Chain A
Amino acid sequence: MAGINYGVEAENLGKAYRLYASPFRRVVEAATLGRVSGHQQFWALRNIDFKLRRGSSMGLCGANGAGKSTLLKVLSGITAPSEGRLRLNGRVASLLELGAGFHLDFSGRSNIMLNGVMMGFTRREMTARMGEIIDFAELGKYIDEPVRTYSSGMGLRLGFAIAIAIDPEILIIDEVFAVGDMYFQKKCVDRIYDFKRRGKTILFCSHSLYDIRQLCDEAIWVREGRSAALGDALFVTNEYTSYQRQHIDDASRALEAMVPKASGFADGLPDELPQVRDARVYRLGTDEETYEVHTGDAIEIRVWWENPDPAAMPIHIGIGFLRQDSTIAAGVGTHIDGQRLKGKSGCTILCIPKLPLLAGQFLMPIVLFDEGGVHRYHESLVPENLMVRARTKDVGLVYIDHGWDLDGAHPLPGESHVPARKTPAARR
């Protein structure tokens, strides 16, 4: 069987739901053998096309109701596709809901058995795995208590333990990392890495882009039932992050309400006040204007300004980097750096040889300050937002230039001068 390199193959998948306004219409449709159509079609999923190699994992991201769960349902064979086709090569286990198929009145132990046979295993197979499942779930004495008494986290542990213990070739998980404590999440992640090592294929859906970046090789971003981006997990999550334009637009509008936008330079401002004429982003040292950059890129920001009366009103320029969630990522200013702007007008360039920002979309407010950097003469925005994509999986707002030394030979502080164990008092 050499040659089957794919665990999951989906070709142009689509899923349509039929909506009937009333049961009567359904009866009419059935009675006329479909000649009189009584339903409306709603495509929950369309044109989903991907192949997932064995031993790799794919993450699904997207907003609520985008079709992620529908896709997982179609893939796990719970519902049939309405168009296209799919193929799963190997035994599948899906964990679409915590405790699906759990019987609340029965003990955890009985539920392991019931859940296992539900997935098509024999009691003997499940008995053989029982110990492993109980160990992994770490429920202690609760394993013999009714599942009714479990917390949702405990239900998750049990469900996950069962799903992975049956050792499927393909594992399909829907948002299970959302619950569970850090310790258990770590165990799950370890197990998933172990899965990948053994050539298993994993598909999972998560709102945590971090999880997707860390665990997945590939990702698919589902938007309104279509795959908006597909491919390398880093690329897709970057795309998805930058997409949150909707939120950004809201943020810019809110900011605009307070601050006239850069496009409105000179509008309604008294001529005698300093103002920003324009501001743009270029690749460092070139005339290539760009707003889509990667972490570590060399860029420059050019600000054209006017100051009618430099003698009376010396000015400073401040440039900020504001992420879409309004976190101020960074802010620099000529007054902070002790620079001085000369003349009635000019073009000031902020050079950034190595952009440290990580993935995200950033608004760049430009502020003209007074001498002390307190009063703001004019505030505006760089007309376009800066879209930054990360090349690494580093987390957070900024990339910290770093290195590791794995063989540090420094003793634990406090132990260096007086080795504690040699003190008789400490021994007692």
Chain B
Amino acid sequence: MPPTSATQPVDPTSGGPGADWAPFKPGPWVVPESPGFAHLLAKLPGLPAVVFAHRDLVFSAVVRELRARFQGTLLGWLWPLVYPIFMFGVYYFIFAELLQVKMPNITPEQKPAMGIFMFVGVVVWTGFAEGVLRAGNVIVENGNLIKKLSFPTELLPLNVVLVSLTTMMFGVGIFVAVLWLSIAGRELGIFETALWPDAPGIGLLWIPVLLVVQLLFTYGLGLILATMQVFLRDTMQLASILVLTWMFVTPVFWVASEKVIPGISPYLDTLALNPLLHLLNCWRHVLMVAQPAIAFDGQPAFLHSLGVFATCGAVLFVVGYLFFLRSQRRFADEV
């Protein structure tokens, strides 16, 4: 610590070093070397603290993003629903009507089963895909911010993933509300049959758990893509193709069951390697209350799927976060 030198000139306007100045905590040395692996790993548990310290940044960014997206639009807050409903309509027509991918042997009460199956799939898939694709672009898109302001950049992908999860929850909420309303209508004798035999109930309590693991998974993948995109702009071009492909190999619009798609059995084991299959399976277990049985015939059990997906999510998150942290310091030079 250098001693105060008596010969140092004191600026007359500063009034000299005041005794009432609050003591400084010496800051950490900033060095050129990239932080080592051990150091990065040590930072990992710090993420919740970072998020907490910047909770208002995260919160206001998410709110702002949601508001900006719908401000000045005619449909406003209904927009989060338009996309899944539209996609659902198109795919329902193609798969269920034209290609006749339908669940056999379902009771008349469960007629809308295929539609509901698809709707859940499309809402959750959109939540995931939109989050990943936007998170991948978010660092480059906010280059100007990164070059001019000093803040934890890892929060940017987190924000967009949270936004996509929030819009997804709009879809989920409306889905549950519609099911409840139709059942209430049946009970009150307004409708003859409800859309769905059973209302989602206690299983909905799993939703926070699902959201957390889905967040980890999406965020982790988003961090990897965002980092790569900074250094190689081809990344997201490629990623959007891959995500589209991924959607088709995931049972969003079709049922991974021999009874629905004859001849699929040899591939089922391979298909089960896809973490998203497990995620959709979990959501369907929760939202469709395991009805109709055929939709869940031969599917992994809820807890099994949850376990597989949570493991993937945790691993992807750790890898993605470390990868991001390692390169973070160079972002301002590259964007």
Chains A and B are bound partners: yes
Residue numbers of A with Cβ under 8 A of B are 1-7, 14, 17-18, 23, 26-27, 30, 51, 53-56, 73, 76-90, 92, 94, 96-97, 100-101, 103, 105-106, 110, 113-114, 117-123, 126, 169, 193, 196-199, 217, 232
Q: How long is the Cα–Cα vector from A54 to B4 in the complex, in angstroms? A: 11
The segment from B10-18, B162-170, B208-216, B290-298 found at the interface with A is B10-18
Contact A118 B30 (CB under 8 A): no
Contact B27 A101 (CB under 8 A): no
Q: Smallest Cβ distance from B130 to chain A, in angstroms? A: 21
Which residues of B24-61 have CB atoms within 8 Å of chain A's CB atoms?
24-32, 53-57, 59-61
Known contacts A23-B234, A79-B329, A97-B148; is A54 also within 8 Å of B1 by CB? no
Q: How long is the Cα–Cα vector from A366 to B175 in the complex, in angstroms? A: 93
Q: How long is the Cα–Cα vector from A183 to B22 in the complex, in angstroms? A: 31
Known contacts A78-B150, A103-B64, A105-B71; is A90 also within 8 Å of B54 by CB? no
Scan B59-74; emit 1 where CB is below 8 A from any A CB, else 0. 1110010001001000
Q: Out of B13, B21, B28, name the residue touching A54 (CB < 8 Å).
A: B21
Q: Smallest Cβ distance from A40 to chain B, in angstroms? A: 14
Residues of A within 8 A of B28 (CB): 87
Q: Does B244 contact A (CB under 8 A)?
A: no
Contact B56 A92 (CB under 8 A): no
Q: How long is the Cα–Cα vector from A126 to B57 in the complex, in angstroms? A: 12
Q: Other than A89-B26, A196-B13, give 11 A-B pairs with Cβ distance below 8 A.
A: A1-B25, A1-B26, A14-B32, A23-B234, A53-B8, A73-B147, A81-B32, A90-B25, A110-B64, A118-B145, A197-B18
Known contacts A105-B71, A123-B56; is A100 also within 8 Å of B148 by CB? yes
Residues of A within 8 A of B97 (CB): none
State the main secondary structure of chain B at its contact with A. Answer: loop
Q: Out of B1, B8, B145, B330, name the residue touching A100 (CB < 8 Å).
A: B145
Residues of A within 8 A of B31 (CB): 81, 85
Residues of B within 8 A of A7 (CB): 24
- Closest chain B residue to A196 by CB distance? B14
Q: How long is the Cα–Cα vector from A76 to B151 in the complex, in angstroms? A: 10
Q: How long is the Cα–Cα vector from A119 to B148 in the complex, in angstroms? A: 11
- Closest chain B residue to A27 by CB distance? B232
Q: Does B146 contact A (CB under 8 A)?
A: yes
Q: How long is the Cα–Cα vector from A75 to B9 in the complex, in angstroms? A: 24
Contact A100 B144 (CB under 8 A): yes
Q: Would you mind naming 22 contact pairs between A and B with Cβ atoms under 8 Å apart?
A: A1-B24, A1-B26, A4-B24, A6-B2, A7-B24, A18-B333, A78-B147, A79-B330, A80-B329, A85-B29, A85-B32, A89-B25, A90-B25, A96-B148, A101-B145, A101-B148, A118-B145, A120-B57, A196-B13, A197-B13, A197-B15, A198-B18
Contact A78 B149 (CB under 8 A): yes
Shortest beta-carbon contacts, A-B, top 10: A100-B148, A199-B21, A1-B23, A80-B329, A3-B1, A79-B332, A117-B57, A89-B24, A117-B56, A123-B56
Q: Does B304 contact A (CB under 8 A)?
A: no
Q: Out of A89, A114, A117, name the residue touching B27 (CB < 8 Å).
A: A89
- Closest chain B residue to A79 by CB distance? B332
Q: Out of B24, B60, B148, B329, name the residue touching A117 (CB < 8 Å).
A: B60
Known contacts A80-B330, A84-B32, A85-B30; is A56 also within 8 Å of B148 by CB? no
- Closest chain A residue to B21 by CB distance? A199
Residues of B within 8 A of A118 (CB): 57, 145, 149, 151
Residues of A within 8 A of B1 (CB): 3-5
Residues of B within 8 A of A113 (CB): 60
Residues of A within 8 A of B64 (CB): 103, 106, 110, 114
Contact B60 A123 (CB under 8 A): yes
Q: Smallest Cβ distance from B241 to chain A, in angstroms? A: 18
Residues of B within 8 A of A76 (CB): 150
Residues of B within 8 A of A89 (CB): 24-27
Contact B18 A199 (CB under 8 A): yes
**Interface-centre pick from A5, A27, A82, A103 (highest chain B CB count, 10 A):** A5
Q: Smallest Cβ distance from A245 to chain B, in angstroms? A: 28
Q: How long is the Cα–Cα vector from A106 to B67 in the complex, in angstroms? A: 10
Q: How long is the Cα–Cα vector from A113 to B4 in the complex, in angstroms? A: 39
Residues of A within 8 A of B145 (CB): 100-101, 118
Contact B149 A119 (CB under 8 A): yes
Q: How long is the Cα–Cα vector from A4 to B147 in the complex, in angstroms? A: 30
Q: How long is the Cα–Cα vector from A100 to B145 in the complex, in angstroms? A: 6
Contact A120 B53 (CB under 8 A): yes
Known contacts A5-B2, A26-B232, A100-B144; is A78 also within 8 Å of B27 by CB? no
